[in-house]
Structure 1
Amino acid sequence: MREARTVVVKVGSSSLTTPEGVLDVARLTALADALAARRLAGSDVVLVSSGAIAAGIVPLGHTTRPNDLATQQAAASVGQGALIAAYTAAFGAHGLTVGQLLLTADDLIRRQNYGNARRAVGRLLRLGVVPVVNENDAVATDEIGFGDNDRLAALVAHLTRADALLLLTDVDGLYDGPPSEAGSVRIPLVRRQEDLAEVRLGGTGSKVGTGGMVTKVEAARIATGAGVTTLLTSADQIVDALTGRDAGTVFLPTGTRPASRMLWLAHASDPAGRLVVDDGAVRALRGRGASLLPAGIVRVEGSFDEGAPVEVVDRRGIGVARGLVAYGSDELPRLLGRSTTWIADVFGGEYAREIVHRDHLVLV
């Protein structure tokens, strides 16, 4: 974390607001001061910030986060301006410019939009700007919303080829049980996913946020699987975290950085349907890195077009892979269980191709 050239920092709503939901400018300024120091020391910094809905709660006359989507969107519309204005002032005190980038899940589900987002963030960094990323809550819907910014931050970390991801919340790390429970112990280091087998995760976040420890651990899994070291700690410990002191919980990388397309496919794409496959197909996909052939598919679920992302599951419904399908759902039923040779003889050579080619498939 201390030596990272590019750092993505995610801060939750509860770390920027009072318990009543009012934007706490002093806390936001302290965060900006620490990040500005890191930026002025030569690192690229990308801030993924929640807080728009929380910042709009009181101006709308509410005392708690609204439950209905329309009022949440209204609160975000009101609060986003206040949030970015506060960041502009706080970073401006250090001579730094911020740039707002609002995203919906759709921007990382569609491959073209994913590339556009990557270019936008990259150009801001090259211009010396501090990008402030947030979900576009004012237009998000239940179908396309991230629900929290933790997964968004993990994807942004890969999108920017970051060296480190810092997840800031209102607790000082991951504990083996509820932090408020007597005897719970902070876990300083997670080397692999198996280290979390005995950890009890719970909670859905604060009353002004939507995340929780589960979403943060999942974000860490996504980031570390892409080769990005991740640190989870409280916003109050940001200086210790950025300078490499013992703070929070460190998640070590568990994989190498995949191609952007593969990370998009595994974690950002929204499957349009499912292909249920037999045990032989599961072994071929997992053991030999094979493409998915029609002979191994037993059922098609959902409606989708050629080129859509689909989920590949075994007979029990357990996920095996995700991939871009070469046929629409209307064409697939007549091909299931057939060999490519039989398909070519009956339907013509243009049909003798993989259902999902291994170059367009990622295991999950």
Structure 2
Amino acid sequence: MSGVREQVTEARRIVVKIGSSSLTTTDGGLAADRVDALVEALATSPAEVVLVSSGAIAAGLAPLGLPRRPRDLATQQAAASVGQGLLMRAYNDAFARHARVVGQVLLTVDDVTRRAHYRNAYRTLRRLLDLKAIPIVNENDTVATQEIRFGDNDRLAALVAALVDADLLVLLSDVDGLYTGDPSLPTSRAITDVHSFADLDGVDIRRPGRAGLGTGGMVTKVEAARIATTSGIPVVLAAAPQAAEVLTGRPVGTFFHRQRQRPQARLFWLAHATTPRGRLILDAGAVRAVVSRHASLLPAGITAVDGRFAAGDPVDLVDAGGVPVARGLVNYDAVELPPLLGRSTSDLAAELGPAYEREVVHRDDLVLL
């Protein structure tokens, strides 16, 4: 590898995610030297930086006398309650030595899946950056039941990168990049660039991180890279000790090239930051109309309705085999739809009134999956 990654050195705003195993010792306590090394790399970067940090649960293990990451939710939340304060104190002290101010931003799943919350999170992060502070984002582990299964903050980091309109996402962990197989095997080779996710066909990414401390693995990192790159944001996957090299553009780790230009923020939110409340099963003609012609979804093309949702909720549009082809904001409540299925809008308007001469999902409120 040689040269400098210009997409890194030219980035004006960077989101950096650090995993639990890169911040803690084997017994669960925070490793001060690791925190200091990370902070030095971030504090000296000329770019605006948002840090998405795991580690609250891991940091709370030792003070509570817990030998390993607990399996039950209540104890995980108790550990997070103790560890979050310790984690922020460590960051605050380390950044203060570089005359940098930090701000804590705790998010729940709702904050990145509900549109109004999503906008509020953006305003907070944007204002912190305007004030030259470094936002430190973490899931609110003490109250969020779904976060514990949220991919060790990898997906959250990709969503935050899109939320703040970042130019780069850096995923730091205890592995120095993506390999064709188990890195400990001599037959495995490092993958330095991913231009298309077809490049990963046949690559085993199911290896977990360091056991007992984090929840994420390579699967969650590749999925986070997919979300970011399809949103126009390149991604670097590298080991935490390589943070300074990454931010100066050195070609270390694995570089995921952006897959396309940045989509509208609204459509990104719909595709990646929403949880579908139900499903609409489409016939073959409706699938072709939605996917190939980018048409709105009409009642005539729906064969069945699944789930409980209200007008305005996100729903998945699936084919006859149950495969999601699109996601959209539905214009009807779930209980209203069954009598309308298979019927034309003109017939419905004639029988039920002009209010029923409308799309089930308008094409402007629909994104292909």
Per the alignment, residue 361 of structure 1 pairs with 366
- Alignment partners' CA distance in 2, 1:205 and 1:28: 19
Q: Which secondary structure does the structure 1 equivalent of 2:227 belong to? A: helix
- What residue identity is the alignment partner of 1:10? K
CA contact (8 A) 2:109 2:146 kept: no
Greater Cα offset, 119-128 or 275-284: 275-284
Cα 1:330/1:143, change in 2 over 3 Å: farther
- After TM superposition, the score normalised by the length of structure 1 is 0.97
- RMSD (Å), alpha carbons: 1.1
Give how far 1:322 is off.
0.6
Give how far 1:96 is off.
0.3
- After TM superposition, the score normalised by the length of structure 2 is 0.96
Cα 1:143/1:307, change in 2 over 3 Å: farther
Matched, 1:196 2:203: no
Per the alignment, residue 210 of structure 1 pairs with 215
- Alignment partners' CA distance in 2, 1:293 and 1:203: 43
Matched, 1:219 2:212: no
Q: Which secondary structure does the structure 2 equivalent of 1:134 belong to? A: strand
Give how far 1:255 is off.
1.5
- Alignment partners' CA distance in 2, 1:205 and 1:280: 44
**Equivalent of 1:175, from 175, 179, 186?**
179
CA contact (8 A) 1:293 1:356 kept: yes
Give how far 1:294 is off.
0.8
**Please, which runs of 5 or more residues in structure 1 have no aligned partner?**
none
- Alignment partners' CA distance in 1, 2:335 and 2:49: 46
**Equivalent of 2:340, from 335, 339, 345?**
335
- What residue identity is the alignment partner of 1:197? D
Per the alignment, residue 306 of structure 1 pairs with 311
Deviations 1:142-165 (A, max 9, x none): 389624200000011111110000
Matched, 1:135 2:139: yes
- Alignment partners' CA distance in 2, 1:106 and 1:28: 29
**Please, which runs of 5 or more residues in structure 2 have no aligned partner?**
1-7
Matched, 1:348 2:329: no
Per the alignment, residue 10 of structure 2 pairs with 3
CA contact (8 A) 1:98 1:130 kept: yes
- Alignment partners' CA distance in 1, 2:169 and 2:364: 28
**Equivalent of 1:126, from 127, 130, 136?**
130
CA contact (8 A) 1:293 1:355 kept: yes
Q: Which runs of 4+ in 1 moved over 4 A?
A: none
Per the alignment, residue 21 of structure 1 pairs with 28
Q: Which secondary structure does the structure 2 equivalent of 1:178 belong to? A: coil
Give how far 1:246 is off.
1.6
CA contact (8 A) 2:278 2:316 kept: yes
CA contact (8 A) 1:324 1:356 kept: yes
- Alignment partners' CA distance in 1, 2:54 and 2:251: 25
CA contact (8 A) 2:151 2:220 kept: no
Matched, 1:320 2:330: no
- Alignment partners' CA distance in 2, 1:94 and 1:78: 26
Give how far 1:284 is off.
0.9
Q: Which secondary structure does the structure 1 equivalent of 2:179 belong to? A: coil
Q: Which secondary structure does the structure 2 equivalent of 1:132 belong to? A: strand
Deviations 1:57-94 (A, max 9, x none): 11111011000111100000000000000000000000
- Alignment partners' CA distance in 2, 1:259 and 1:102: 25
Number of residue pairs aligned between Structure 1 and Structure 2? 361
Per the alignment, residue 5 of structure 2 pairs with none
Per the alignment, residue 84 of structure 1 pairs with 88
Task: Describe how 1:148-163 pairs up with structure 2 within 5 A.
Answer: 148-163=152-167
Per the alignment, residue 281 of structure 1 pairs with 286
**Equivalent of 2:118, from 114, 136, 152?**
114
- Alignment partners' CA distance in 2, 1:340 and 1:176: 52
Matched, 1:261 2:278: no
Q: Which secondary structure does the structure 2 equivalent of 1:246 belong to? A: coil
CA contact (8 A) 2:141 2:147 kept: no
The percentage of counterpart residues that share the same residue type is: 59
Per the alignment, residue 12 of structure 1 pairs with 19
**Equivalent of 2:253, from 245, 248, 271?**
248
Give how far 1:203 is off.
2.5
Give how far 1:27 is off.
0.2
Matched, 1:37 2:41: no
Deviations 1:283-320 (A, max 9, x none): 11111111111111111001111111111111111110
Cα 1:336/1:143, change in 2 over 3 Å: farther
**Equivalent of 1:164, from 164, 168, 175?**
168
- Alignment partners' CA distance in 2, 1:174 and 1:76: 29
Q: Which secondary structure does the structure 2 equivalent of 1:330 belong to? A: helix
- What residue identity is the alignment partner of 1:188? T
CA contact (8 A) 2:77 2:143 kept: yes
